[in-house]
Chains A and B, each alone.
Chain A
Amino acid sequence: MKSKGKFGKYGGMFVPETLMPALEELEAAFNKYRNDKKFNRELNELLKDYAGRPTPLYFAKKFSAVCGCRVYLKREDLLHGGAHKTNNGLGQGLLAKYMGKKRLIAETGAGQHGFATALVGAYFGIPTEIYMGVEDIRRQHMNVLRMLVCGAKINPVSTGTGTLKEAINDALRDWITNIETTYYVFGTVAGPHPYPTIVKHFQKIIGKEARRQILRAEGRLPDAVVACVGGGSNAMGIFDAFRNDASVRLIGVEPGGKGINTPYHGASLTKGREGVFQGSLSYVLQNKEGQIQDTYSISAGLDYPGIGPEHPHLRDIRRAEYTTITDKEALAAFRLLSEVEGIIPALESAHAIAYAIKLGKKMKKSDIMVINLSGRGDKDMDHACNALGIKG
């Protein structure tokens, strides 16, 4: 290993010995190709012609009126696949191809990362298997069908609460077993080193574009950048470019579920403690002894007891702040953005939208806010409309 993959004291590689050589191989390949001209040319072409980058930075006029400041939406919902996950899927899929791997596996919660992996599997012609919790299969059925249509195999995971955490456990077990042939496409900036670094590398294009776009549109930097945080990849993707712009507040929004004073939420950073979980030292929702707790959120993509290790580091050094939004608030925002802008956000991204409404109240009319609209809500229609009591 060239690096221990630490962000302050967080991060690292807490995995069984069998996985270590695979992580070493992955780190070496990533370091070899991250600045490789041919690799980057191929990736940039894919991002542009296949996935539709750059995504627009859209000035949401009517939503701005609701918020009381100038609000821009970074339209990752328009990316092929329907969410920012495709950035990472293409990047790691290409890396797998360059490494000569014969099989892709991935975990998925909301199904967006699973679909991103399924589509790159189809594109590169590499057999793909997706681990998904049974509860997530139920609430994100459309994404299950999308993965199947692209030829991926779905392995339902029924242990625990049948959500993202268990899907990652089983994907890791698969990787331990099939390490010589298989590339594990990890979906977020969590897990063991080098994944937090790799996923950030492929997602930071969001912030790079957004920063350039806002400077062009407004001639100045925004006052705040807001993103939802589960594992934290879309947030890290948009935060990174603004990291050295001290005047820009970076705000991550965690899933408050039924309220952070109930056991039903997924606010790892707000309510968790430092701990070692699924490969890294970060913040974890856990009991006193360190057993990992069940989480809950209406949004499958945020329903996770851990968080990428760079996020607690950004909070420790006071570069980013983190807050929570409840299911109810997220649902209201889901509906509101749809009604005033004709843009249906994913339930995950609706958490960022909901917080923007709150934050706007404290901002001046001329203040600028950029929200990462990380995904679109098509996948959530049944689930959200049920919760909202909207009947077709």
Chain B
Amino acid sequence: MRAMHWGLRVEMDRYKKAFSKKKAFIPFTVVGDPDLKTSEQIIRTMIDSGADALELGIAFTDPIADGTTIQKADDRVLKRRTNLDEIFGVIKRIRKYSNEIPIGLLIYYNLIYQRGIEKFYRDAKNAGVDGILVADLPIEEAGDAVKAARKAKISPIFIVSPTTTANRLKKILRHARGFIYVVSLLGVTGARHRINPAVYRLLKFVKPKTKLPLAVGFGISKPEHVKAILSGGASGVIVGSAIVKIIEKNLGSKKRILSRISSYVRKMKSAT
């Protein structure tokens, strides 16, 4: 019992550490996009360029919370018949590359369900994962997943959106660990020109109710977005589609993908 508690603390420490010393920049990419080898290099590049934590997407055929950019990335991964063991393989090597960086997964529930819920969390843990956010698993359905996460010492990450009521927030905060993923807008993932002011109200609403760091995602693509959101009370920002777009636009040149992602991550990190 004691050992388990201790273990849990160590794992949560990666997120705690990442958020404690500074504001966090968290890039997202779909593992295996555009191929496994390049994807691994992309993730290493993100770490080398200043990422404070990683949010790694697991490709799914029907990603209903995602916009076209990420759906296309999922399709690229699935077209190559990439499987979960290969994906965990990449994550394992990333964990070896950096022992400090927190690694979060963003996934759809059926992939967890089919592998066996406990087994999935165990395998993720063995690969070096710290937190798992299941895009289509609201708190009402999350009982088994939360139990398996606790058992495997993985932080269950939950989304809070502009439509989340006080009552729901209370339930979510009871089970959430690691950080709170604050969705900045009503909609699916994807770069937007402007930050929706609803996010500032949302940050004000959530912040006094939890000690967990708040990381804002969806629609963020520019350094000025990062500055605005962090000054609005967030502890970190998550950027996905803008990065995936760099991959999509440079599919012909691996070198260019890596150099552009490197400079983009540096630019965004320097805004934190």
Query: Which positions in A face B, CB cutoff 8 Å?
Result: 1, 4, 12-18, 20-22, 159-160, 165, 169, 172-173, 176-180, 273-279, 281, 284, 286, 288-292
Q: Is B7 an interface residue (CB 8 A)?
A: no
A20 and B186 in contact, given A169-B64, A277-B110, A289-B114 (Cβ under 8 angstroms): no
Chain A residues near B183 (CB, 8 Å)? 17-18
Whether the Cβ atoms of A173 and B67 lie closer than 8 Å is yes
Whether the Cβ atoms of B136 and A276 lie closer than 8 Å is yes
A204 to B170, CA, bound (A): 38
With most chain A CB atoms within 10 A of its CB, the pick from B61, B83, B163 is B61
A20 to B160, CA, bound (A): 11
Q: Is B164 an interface residue (CB 8 A)?
A: yes
With most chain A CB atoms within 10 A of its CB, the pick from B64, B67, B75, B168 is B64
Interface segment, one of B92-100, B137-145, B261-269: B137-145
Whether the Cβ atoms of B164 and A173 lie closer than 8 Å is no
Whether the Cβ atoms of A17 and B159 lie closer than 8 Å is yes
Whether the Cβ atoms of A276 and B109 lie closer than 8 Å is yes
Whether the Cβ atoms of B64 and A284 lie closer than 8 Å is no
Chain A residues near B137 (CB, 8 Å)? 14
A12 and B141 in contact, given A18-B186, A173-B188, A179-B186 (Cβ under 8 angstroms): yes
Q: Is B271 an interface residue (CB 8 A)?
A: no
Whether the Cβ atoms of B110 and A290 lie closer than 8 Å is yes
With most chain B CB atoms within 10 A of its CB, the pick from A12, A14, A165, A274 is A14
* Given A17-B138, A17-B164, 13 new contacts (CB under 8 A): A12-B140, A13-B141, A18-B161, A18-B186, A21-B168, A173-B67, A176-B65, A176-B186, A178-B186, A179-B163, A275-B114, A276-B109, A289-B115
A74 to B227, CA, bound (A): 64
Whether the Cβ atoms of B164 and A21 lie closer than 8 Å is yes
A291 to B60, CA, bound (A): 6
Chain A residues near B75 (CB, 8 Å)? 159
A13 to B158, CA, bound (A): 15
With most chain A CB atoms within 10 A of its CB, the pick from B60, B78, B111, B136 is B136
Interface residues of B in 112-167 (CB under 8 A from A): 113-115, 135-138, 140-141, 158-165
Chain B residues near A16 (CB, 8 Å)? 64-65, 135-136, 138, 159, 161
A173 to B218, CA, bound (A): 14
A329 to B111, CA, bound (A): 35
Chain A residues near B89 (CB, 8 Å)? none
Query: Which positions in B face A, CB cutoff 8 Å?
Result: 60-65, 67, 71, 75, 78, 83-84, 108-111, 113-115, 135-138, 140-141, 158-165, 168, 172, 183, 186-188
A169 to B75, CA, bound (A): 14
Chain A residues near B71 (CB, 8 Å)? 159
Closest residue of A by beta carbon distance from B83: A289
CB of A322 to closest CB in B, whole Å = 22
Chain A residues near B159 (CB, 8 Å)? 16-18
Closest residue of A by beta carbon distance from B60: A291
Chain A residues near B140 (CB, 8 Å)? 1, 4, 12-13, 20
CB of B117 to closest CB in A, whole Å = 11
CB of B159 to closest CB in A, whole Å = 4
CB of B191 to closest CB in A, whole Å = 14
A292 and B61 in contact, given A17-B159, A277-B110 (Cβ under 8 angstroms): yes
Which 5 residue pairs spanning A and B have beta carbons closest together?
A: A290-B114, A177-B187, A290-B110, A18-B161, A17-B159
A375 to B82, CA, bound (A): 41
Chain A residues near B160 (CB, 8 Å)? 17
CB of A223 to closest CB in B, whole Å = 38
Chain A residues near B172 (CB, 8 Å)? 17
A291 to B161, CA, bound (A): 27
Chain B residues near A180 (CB, 8 Å)? 186
Whether the Cβ atoms of A13 and B111 lie closer than 8 Å is no
Closest residue of B by beta carbon distance from A14: B136
Closest residue of A by beta carbon distance from B63: A169
Chain B residues near A14 (CB, 8 Å)? 109, 136-138, 141
Whether the Cβ atoms of A278 and B186 lie closer than 8 Å is no
With most chain A CB atoms within 10 A of its CB, the pick from B60, B84, B172, B187 is B187
Whether the Cβ atoms of B136 and A15 lie closer than 8 Å is yes
A276 to B61, CA, bound (A): 12
Whether the Cβ atoms of B163 and A22 lie closer than 8 Å is yes
Whether the Cβ atoms of B114 and A286 lie closer than 8 Å is yes
Chain B residues near A291 (CB, 8 Å)? 60-61, 78, 111
Chain A residues near B110 (CB, 8 Å)? 275-277, 284, 286, 290, 292
Chain B residues near A176 (CB, 8 Å)? 64-65, 186-188
A284 to B110, CA, bound (A): 10
A291 to B137, CA, bound (A): 17
Show 27 residue pairs from A and B whose CB-CB distance is below 8 angstroms, ordered by the A residue. Answer: A12-B140, A13-B141, A14-B109, A14-B136, A15-B64, A16-B135, A16-B136, A17-B161, A18-B65, A18-B159, A18-B161, A18-B183, A20-B163, A20-B164, A21-B168, A160-B61, A169-B63, A173-B188, A176-B188, A275-B110, A275-B113, A276-B136, A277-B110, A289-B83, A290-B110, A290-B111, A290-B115
